[in-house]
Chains A and B, each alone.
Chain A
Amino acid sequence: MARFLMRRLVLFILALIGISLLIFLALRILPGDVAAIMAGLDAPPERVDRLRRQMGLDRSYPRQYLDWIGDFLQGDLGRSILTNRSIASQVGVRAQITFPLILLGLAVALLLGIPLGCAAALARSPRMQSFSHMVAIVGGSVPALWSGLLLIMLFAKGSGLIGLLPSQGFPALGWAQPGQALAALILPALSTGIIVGAGIMRYTRSLLGDMLSSGYVDMGMACGMTRTQAALRIGLRLASPQLVSVIGLTMAEMITGVMVSENLFALPGLGSMLITDVGNRDLPAVQSELLLLAAFFLFLGLLVDVIHRLIDPRFRGAARQEVVAL
Chain B
Amino acid sequence: MNWGHEDRPHLGLRATFPGQLGFFGRMRVVLSSMWRKASGRYSLIVLAIWILVSLVSRFWTPVPIWVTDGYRIWQAPSRAHLLGTDGTGADILSWLMAGSATNLVISLLAVLLSGVLGLLLVMAMVSRRSGVSQTVVVLVDALISLPTVLLALILAVPLGPSIAVVVVACGFGYGLNLARIVRPQALLAAESDYVRSARHSGVGSFRIFCTHLVPNVIPVLCVQLSMSAGTSVLAEAGLTYLGVGVPSGLPSWGHSLTTSVKFINVFPLTVLWPGLVVTMVVVALNLFGDALRDAIDPVTNPRLRAAVAAAGRSTLQSVRQETSACLEASGHASEGDNHVAEY
State whether the Cβ of B139 lies closer than 8 Å to any Cβ in chain A.
yes
Is A145 a contact of B257 with CB atoms below 8 Å? yes
Residues of B within 8 A of A14 (CB): 142
Nearest Cβ on chain B to A284's Cβ, whole angstroms = 12
Q: Number of contacting residues on A, CB 8 A?
A: 55
Nearest Cβ on chain B to A266's Cβ, whole angstroms = 12
Given contacts A138-B279, A152-B264, contact A143 B230 (CB under 8 A): no
Our pick among B144, B261, B286 for the contact of A141 (Cβ within 8 Å) is B286
Is A30 a contact of B286 with CB atoms below 8 Å? no
Given contacts A256-B147, A290-B150, contact A11 B142 (CB under 8 A): yes
State whether the Cβ of B214 lies closer than 8 Å to any Cβ in chain A.
no
Is A15 a contact of B142 with CB atoms below 8 Å? yes
Nearest Cβ on chain B to A316's Cβ, whole angstroms = 20
Residues of B within 8 A of A137 (CB): 283, 286-287
State whether the Cβ of B153 lies closer than 8 Å to any Cβ in chain A.
yes
Our pick among B138, B142, B154 for the contact of A22 (Cβ within 8 Å) is B154
Given contacts A26-B158, A143-B234, A153-B264, contact A259 B141 (CB under 8 A): no
Q: Which of B20-28, B84-92, B194-202, B237-245 contacts A (4 or more CB under 8 A)?
A: B237-245
Report the separation of the CA atoms of residues A153 and B173 in the bound assembly, to the nearest whole angstrom: 33
Interface residues of B in 225-281 (CB under 8 A from A): 230, 234-235, 237-239, 241-244, 257-258, 260-261, 264-265, 268, 271, 274-275, 278-279
Residues of A within 8 A of B139 (CB): 11, 15
Given contacts A141-B230, A259-B242, A260-B241, contact A294 B150 (CB under 8 A): yes
Report the separation of the CA atoms of residues A137 and B244 in the bound assembly, to the nearest whole angstrom: 27
Q: What's the dominant secondary structure at chain B's contact region? A: helix
Our pick among B145, B155, B158 for the contact of A300 (Cβ within 8 Å) is B145
Is A159 a contact of B278 with CB atoms below 8 Å? no
Given contacts A141-B230, A145-B261, contact A297 B145 (CB under 8 A): yes
Residues of B within 8 A of A159 (CB): 264-265
State whether the Cβ of A95 lies closer than 8 Å to any Cβ in chain B.
no
Our pick among B143, B243, B260, B286 for the contact of A15 (Cβ within 8 Å) is B143
Report the separation of the CA atoms of residues A121 and B271 in the bound assembly, to the nearest whole angstrom: 35
State whether the Cβ of B110 lies closer than 8 Å to any Cβ in chain A.
no
Report the separation of the CA atoms of residues A294 and B137 in the bound assembly, to the nearest whole angstrom: 20
Given contacts A256-B149, A305-B141, contact A286 B157 (CB under 8 A): yes
Is B138 a contact of A29 with CB atoms below 8 Å? no
Report the separation of the CA atoms of residues A146 and B280 in the bound assembly, to the nearest whole angstrom: 13
Residues of A within 8 A of B286 (CB): 137, 140-141
Nearest Cβ on chain A to B333's Cβ, whole angstroms = 57
Is B235 a contact of A256 with CB atoms below 8 Å? yes
Is A260 a contact of B238 with CB atoms below 8 Å? yes
Is A12 a contact of B154 with CB atoms below 8 Å? no
State whether the Cβ of B111 lies closer than 8 Å to any Cβ in chain A.
no
State whether the Cβ of B107 lies closer than 8 Å to any Cβ in chain A.
no
Our pick among A7, A146, A252 for the contact of B146 (Cβ within 8 Å) is A252
State whether the Cβ of A162 lies closer than 8 Å to any Cβ in chain B.
no
Given contacts A255-B149, A326-B138, contact A150 B155 (CB under 8 A): no
Is A146 a contact of B275 with CB atoms below 8 Å? yes
Is A255 a contact of B147 with CB atoms below 8 Å? yes
Nearest B residue (CB) for A16: B142
Is B153 a contact of A298 with CB atoms below 8 Å? no
Interface residues of B in 206-233 (CB under 8 A from A): 230
Interface CB pairs A-B, < 8 A, 6: A26-B157, A26-B158, A30-B157, A141-B234, A260-B242, A278-B157
Of all A-B residue pairs in the complex, the 9 with the closest CB atoms, nearest first, are A301-B145, A146-B275, A141-B282, A15-B142, A29-B158, A256-B149, A143-B237, A252-B147, A141-B283
Q: List A residues at the B interface (Cβ < 8 Å).
A: 7-8, 11-12, 14-15, 19, 22-23, 26-27, 29-30, 137-138, 140-146, 149-150, 152-153, 159, 248-249, 252-253, 255-257, 259-260, 263-264, 274-275, 278-279, 281, 286, 290, 293-294, 297-298, 300-302, 304-305, 326
Extra pairs beyond A290-B150, A305-B141 (5, CB < 8 Å): A279-B243, A294-B150, A301-B141, A326-B134, A326-B141
